[in-house]
Amino acid sequence: MIINWTKIAEEIYTQLKNDIKSFKSKPSLWAILVWNNPSSLRYIKQKEKWAKEIWINFILKKIPENIKERDLYNIVKEFNDDININWYIVQLPLPPHIDSQKIINNIHPKKDVDGFHPNNMWKVLLWDKNWFVPCTPAGIIEILEKEEIKVEWKKVCVIWRSNIVWKPMVSLLINMWATVIACNSKTKDLDKHTSSADVVIVAAWNPWLLKVNMIKYWAVIIDVWFTVIDDIIYWDADTKLIDLVWNKITPVPGWVWSLTVAMLMKNTIKAYKIQNK
């Protein structure tokens, strides 16, 4: 059974549109785009589309790809100091010659609607809901909440170990009283862990890693990302899992983009409320 993420996204946008109607001014969202690679461009376009759709100004600053790290740092500093820029994002990934973490660390935490600054990350760990949860984990939590999937007393298996997605994800689940098992490419007997889990969240970039016999009945599968080989898209979950009636699964690539973008808009509206209360 496929989780209806379009319905979830629609509900979020309807709520946000209602919120915005009551605002005194039209909110804006600023974005810095450095690298014109197809993936970044696609993301930025989605963000622009949805911002406009719900009546948020979207202001994009394009920077030449060959910018020096120091100069990008200075632009970030200008954005921090500019009282007209209330909050902004720096579209990731950045070109390889720039240290992304260094740039992220210099975004002012109160302007960081992506929730990537250490202070905001730490607030996620502390379960401080007044701040910005990074958008992909936030989207996953939104799915769990909207689908009424309780993780308390449950076992959740998360596969992979990146900094800006998985570590906050694990912390959020721990905060929600889940028993969390964090697996990675050096996990022995992965099937034992997945097959005893009530919820499996996977972003392994490993084609069809998750097979039907690795999942227990009525498990929820949240498949976050996919791999493209010879123009064919492979999910981390075997496509056979979609046809089963006894589980719940998210489709990729659809939901990640959609809900991640929706959560960015939600963070933007949250930022507006914090700054205007």
Q: Give residues in contact with a copy of itself (CB under 8 A).
A: 101, 118-119, 121-123, 125-126, 152-155, 161, 163, 166-167, 170-171, 174-175, 177, 179-184, 186-188, 192-193, 196
Which lies closer to a copy of itself via its Cβ, residue 182 or residue 264? Answer: 182
HEC string for 92-158? CCCCCCCCHHHHHHHCCHHHECCCCCHHHHHHHHCCCCCCCCCHHHHHHHHHHHHCCCCCCCCEEEE
What's the closest the beta carbon of residue 90 comes to a copy of itself, in angstroms?
17
Which lies closer to a copy of itself via its Cβ, residue 136 or residue 250? Answer: 136
- Please report which helix (H) or strand (E) contains residue 54, including its range: none
What's the closest the beta carbon of residue 125 comes to a copy of itself, in angstroms?
5
What's the closest the beta carbon of residue 58 comes to a copy of itself, in angstroms?
29
What's the closest the beta carbon of residue 187 comes to a copy of itself, in angstroms?
4
What's the closest the beta carbon of residue 56 comes to a copy of itself, in angstroms?
29
Which lies closer to a copy of itself via its Cβ, residue 46 or residue 187? Answer: 187
Which lies closer to a copy of itself via its Cβ, residue 46 or residue 105? Answer: 105
Which lies closer to a copy of itself via its Cβ, residue 102 or residue 240? Answer: 102
Map residue 60 onto helix, strand or coil: strand
Spatial separation of the C-alpha atoms in residues 192 and 22, rounded to whole Å: 50
Beta strands in the chain (DSSP E): 28-33, 57-62, 88-90, 155-159, 179-183, 199-202, 220-223, 226-229, 232-235, 248-249
Spatial separation of the C-alpha atoms in residues 142 and 64, rounded to whole Å: 35
